[in-house]
Copies of this chain bind each other. A is one copy, B any other.
Amino acid sequence: MSENKSETMKAITQTDLDDPRSLKLADVDIPALKPGEVLVKVAAAGVNRADLVQAQGNYPPPQGESDIIGLECAGTIVDAGDTGREVGEEVGCLLAGGGYAEYVAVPEGQLVPVPQGFSLTDTASIVEVATTVWSNVGMLAGLKEGDRVLIHGGGGGIGSFAIQMCKAMGAEVATTAGSQEKLEHARELGADILINYKEESFVEKLKGSCDVILDIIGGPYLEDNVRSLAMDGTLVVIAVQGGPKGTLPVARMMPRRQSVHATTLRARPVEQKSEICASTVEHVWPLIEQGKIRTTIDRTLPLADAAQAHELLDSGKVTGKLVLEVAGD
């Protein structure tokens, strides 16, 4: 690290673990680099729903990882460690934690390039969602051109990205949301079939036609999701906003050869995350650079306003992503 930088930095810490509103800017040590890591000066950090769960004490960081919140950011390499990368390079970063800070240590394999035409703020808004959606819909479920995919929560950050990515891959996209405004947003992003879950049943509308389903609701949707799968269909659950358990109609699945996968990106080892980052850059970055996937940022806030950002996201009134911006020196 260069000599003219202090050993401390500003980062968001939680003074009262029982109160998510106690997220406050504080002085903490700049993280030390482990082998294979670079130090990135953060310009912008994306806000994810998992961050809210962590602030509520229910999603602790993987062992050995930063206890600072923040799963993605973008910025500039200021110390390349032993990696041979260039100091000064602008990068996006997939993180196990630590994004809500001025500096973060990142394994080299979890760095992604800034897509052509994207700012650092744009980049910080898509790293986590792009790797999450591609690793599940592309790498795991193997979505193909002409498939029908159901994306729950079309108004959220994951849903907004997934709709565009699946359309760009040539799939037919069905999506659910809880308001006409969110569905209108989903339609603008390319969704073909719009379902207001407060007004109609997705299982009745889709009638077992979906090759792939990307779900964030979990338990309560499990049986209806399986009933919405086509022959050889794949359900991937990546969040359980509705509840941790549900009923699985396994006899129904047998003649249809269906499967249910549940994953998180954050708990994966560095090797898997690095493989996912490389595959995402190979398959998804071109779609971004061709303008087929835009980022949808609801608004940006200063890093110091992390608590407010969490309250906003929790209100359910956000369409697209929230990004925290870190002031320059």
Chain A contact residues, CB within 8 Å of chain B? 218-219, 222-223, 237-240, 244-264, 267-268
Contacts and interface: CB of A to CB of B under 8 A. Distances in A.
Nearest to A59: B255
Contacts of A268: 257
A257 B262 CA distance: 5
A96 to B, nearest CB: 12
A255 B240 contact: no
Contact of A267 (B237, B255, B262): B255
Given A259-B259, A262-B259, A250 B244 contact: yes
19 contacts: A218-B250, A219-B251, A223-B245, A237-B250, A240-B250, A244-B250, A244-B251, A244-B252, A250-B262, A251-B262, A253-B262, A254-B263, A254-B264, A254-B267, A255-B267, A256-B262, A257-B264, A259-B261, A259-B262
Contact of A222 (B219, B250, B254, B261): B250
A251 B255 contact: no
A260 B254 contact: no
A253 B267 CA distance: 12
Contacts of A257: 261-264, 267-268
Nearest to A259: B261
What copy number does this chain have within its complex? 2
Name A's interface SS.
mixed
Pairs of residues from A and B, 7 with the lowest C-beta to C-beta distance, nearest first: A244-B251, A253-B262, A248-B248, A255-B267, A259-B261, A254-B262, A240-B251
B248 A246 contact: yes
Contacts of A251: 218-219, 240, 244-245, 262
A223 B253 CA distance: 16
Contacts of A250: 218-219, 222, 237, 240, 244-246, 260, 262
Given A246-B247, A247-B247, A248-B245, A240 B254 contact: yes
A264 B260 contact: no
A255 B263 CA distance: 6
Contact of A245 (B218, B219, B240, B247): B247
A159 to B, nearest CB: 18
Contact of A258 (B218, B245, B262): B262
A246 B263 CA distance: 20
A286 B259 CA distance: 30
A253 to B, nearest CB: 4
A57 B247 CA distance: 26
Contacts of A264: 254-255, 257
A238 B254 contact: yes
Contacts of A254: 237-240, 262-264, 267
